[in-house]
Amino acid sequence: MKSFLQLFLLSLLIIICVFFYKNYFTEKKVIKKIEFETVVESNNLEKKNNIIQNLKYNVELLDGGKYEITANKSEIIFNDGKETVLMSQVIATFTDIKNNKIKIFSDNAEFNSESYNTYFSVNVKISFEDSLITSDKIDFDFINNNILIYKNVIYINDNGNMRTDNISINLITKQIDIFMNNSKNKVKIATN
């Protein structure tokens, strides 16, 4: 009876340890589910190149946030068995749990349909609250919950404007880092 009780307690301890480990030490994916809503004009669909007009992806995140991306024209390509969507005339909206929105406009984007990471390029504009940021490129990284805005970055709001090489935004903590590629260069700020 004593050995049965010891075995039972040891088993219970192992179960509790596994439960504790899974809940507190394993990395949880941010993405809960994805819903696809695509509008395809049959005359503009070329099966050979996987061209789609008016493509729209809706992604619901685990924390209650949402990510929506639309494109006037898209091409689906496969590299090493992974689907990538090359998009043009793109509008993306990230809405967090508190209903704060970041809206991104660009001429081009590359959307990874597995990780939902998105790389925006050419005439990129980001609007949020009362601010506007323009740049040449943005990397929207869902795996690391980060947005990196880089190349010819200009931040504009009612108080003035700022020129920098990089702006990094953590989507969880909302921490913003502004930095230059070369530490000898300085961020340029002009106030109104």
Examine the pLDDT at 179 and tell me if it is beyond 70: yes
What is the average per-residue pLDDT within 165-188?
Answer: 88
What class does CATH assign to 28-191?
A: mainly beta
Between 99 and 10, name the one with better pLDDT. Answer: 99
Domain boundaries, the chain: 28-191
Higher pLDDT, 62 or 38: 62
The pTM assigned to this predicted structure is 0.71
Q: How do residues 33-47 score in pLDDT, each as one tens digit? A: 444 444 433 344 444
pLDDT 10s digits, 102-159: 899 999 999 998 888 999 999 999 998 888 999 999 999 988 888 999 999 999 988 8
User: What radius of gyration do the chain's Cα atoms show?
Assistant: 22
